[in-house]
Structure 1
Amino acid sequence: MNTFEFSAIYWDLYLNLEADLIKMSDYIAFCDENKPTFSIELLKQLLAIGSEFDIVCKSYCEFLGELSKIENRVQDKHKDILFYAAVFSQERPSIFEEVVQVKVAPDYFTMPMDTWKCNPQEHRNPKLNCAPEWWWAYTQNKHNRNGVISEYAGQEQPLGEKTYKSQYIGKKLFQLASLEHVIDALASLFILEMYYYKDLATVHNIDVTIPQKPSRMFYLLDWETHIVPMYDVVSVNSTLKFERKPSKKDLEIFTK
């Protein structure tokens, strides 16, 4: 898959999801005070974004060459998200630390994947790993929307439950479809697709790491917008001369 195919298959759908959330800014101010706001429209968007995130994660893991290493794969969405975390923690660990600025609300910053905890050696152990908080909200609404959040009754409390549930005790699960969780979900999808696009650009020797139709919703801080090949320099005057074509090993990434 090249960057043009990626844009047609994945990025265009991302932009469609993004447009839906931008419309919400006409009715809900994107600010700290409104983070708990929930609605049917936000629920619809959370379910759509969560599904697409799962799809793109799987494709990206295949691209990174890790999917074939799965043994006894469990067909469970939460377990799948932990597998993706194990892959990214080994191949693209910086993905968890990315900071996103919301363009339609310049004072709004988020690190949507910083709650995505993974122990690569035991990535199936629920006591040592957990998905992002927004993903927890997504799966709760996908599987048990009419429920109420209560204290965990099991003997061994999963890390995700311990991390997220205390602040929501007594609330109905559909209230988790909040503005904060939807923004974080879309921001996570944005980061994921930007990483995927950049890797595709590198493989195909394309120097621009931002899709031709950029995001209108998010800005990724410290993102390297160009990949510039550094060749074997024969002489350096007003003109640079190179003695061979570049290879992938010649790529040095920096911000123009």
Structure 2
Amino acid sequence: MESHYIHWEFFKAIEEDFKKCSRYIAFDERNLQTYSIELSRLIIDCGSYIDTLMKDLCCCLEPQVERKDYDNIKTWHAPIKGHLSHFFDLEIHMPSNGMVFTPWKEWKQVEDKIQSPFWWKYGYNQIKHHRSNNFEAACLKNALECAAGLLVLIMCYSVHVSNPKPCFDVSQHKVFIPKNLVPTFFAPVTLFCEYETIEEFYIF
């Protein structure tokens, strides 16, 4: 199986876990601070995948740099900004409740420091390194933002790295479809890149 298909299949599996979770926690703005063991697992799963795939993407964008040099989120920022400036503005929405996320918008340089997204610094990292003292970081908001961040990353990796570009069958990949069709859980909203419409982002 081509690597980009593996990434999409992983996200589909993650999304199924979110669907199951939604039976017990209503995905509503009033519940965004609700936390649980299952949400903690989902954040770790998504964050760990982001960690690995982001390093792969950076190495593809700037192959002259060794992978070991992309050891944290601060080192990923320059290659992403230099090659994929639209990355930070990509939005993900949840059609079932109308919530919209721009997960990488806060990832920017402030003076001489790289500022991490809240869900990464105070969600994923706190759970990963200080879980016993920061269990409340495993909240619904951080979990949804983390999943949205992973989806943005997989989309960009698939389009800008995969060669040939992936071809998706809408009937098989119902999550990742143009918004004029009926989406399921997560769906891309806007793509500020060389594609004028969302339909051009997908190749059927």
**Contact 2:58–2:76 at 8 Å: present in 1 too?**
yes
Within the alignment, does 1:140 sit opposite 2:137 as a pair?
A: no
Task: Indicate which of 211, 218, 240 corresponds to 2:186.
Answer: 218
Cα RMSD (Å):
2.8
Within the alignment, does 1:68 sit opposite 2:54 as a pair?
A: no
Letter in 2 for 1:204: P
1:67 and 1:84, CA in 2 relative to 1: closer, same or farther beyond 3 A? farther
Letter in 1 for 2:160: D
Shift of 1:211: 10
Within the alignment, does 1:27 sit opposite 2:24 as a pair?
A: yes
Shift of 1:129: 1.2
Q: 2:168 and 2:119 mapped to 1: Cα distance?
A: 30
Q: What's 2:74 paired with?
A: 82
1:41 and 1:6, CA in 2 relative to 1: closer, same or farther beyond 3 A? same
State percent identity of aligned pairs.
27
Q: Secondary structure at the match of 2:55?
A: helix
Shift of 1:209: 11
Structure 1 stretches of 5 or more lacking a match? 148-172, 225-251
Number of residues paired by the alignment? 188
Shift of 1:7: 3.9
Shift of 1:5: 0.5
Letter in 2 for 1:108: M
The normalised TM-score by structure 2 is 0.80
**Contact 1:98–1:111 at 8 Å: present in 2 too?**
yes
**Contact 1:197–1:211 at 8 Å: present in 2 too?**
no
Task: Indicate which of 98, 101, 116 corresponds to 2:107.
Answer: 116
Q: Secondary structure at the match of 1:58?
A: helix
Shift of 1:39: 0.4
Letter in 2 for 1:53: I
**Contact 1:141–1:176 at 8 Å: present in 2 too?**
yes
1:178 and 1:206, CA in 2 relative to 1: closer, same or farther beyond 3 A? closer
1:27 and 1:85, CA in 2 relative to 1: closer, same or farther beyond 3 A? same
1:58 and 1:211, CA in 2 relative to 1: closer, same or farther beyond 3 A? farther
Q: 2:191 and 2:167 mapped to 1: Cα distance?
A: 13
Q: 2:86 and 2:39 mapped to 1: Cα distance?
A: 28
Q: Deviations over 1:181-222 (max 9, x none)?
A: 000000000011011111246x42667798952424211113
Q: How does 1:198-217 map to 2 (within 5 A)?
A: 198-200=159-161, 203-204=163-164, 213-215=173-175, 216-217=184-185
Structure 2 stretches of 5 or more lacking a match? 176-183, 200-204
Shift of 1:68: 3.0
Q: How does 1:34-183 map to 2 (within 5 A)?
A: 34-64=31-61, 66-69=62-65, 73=69, 75=71, 80-105=72-97, 107-118=98-109, 128-136=113-121, 137-147=123-133, 173-183=134-144
1:210 and 1:7, CA in 2 relative to 1: closer, same or farther beyond 3 A? farther
1:184 and 1:210, CA in 2 relative to 1: closer, same or farther beyond 3 A? farther
Q: Secondary structure at the match of 1:254?
A: coil
Q: 1:130 and 1:205 mapped to 2: Cα distance?
A: 32
Higher relative contact order (CA 8 A, sep 6+): 2
Q: Deviations over 1:7-28 (max 9, x none)?
A: 4432211111111012111121
Q: Deviations over 1:15-46 (max 9, x none)?
A: 11111012111121212110000001101111
Letter in 2 for 1:222: T
Q: 1:74 and 1:5 mapped to 2: Cα distance?
A: 24
Bigger shift: 132-141 or 185-194?
A: 132-141
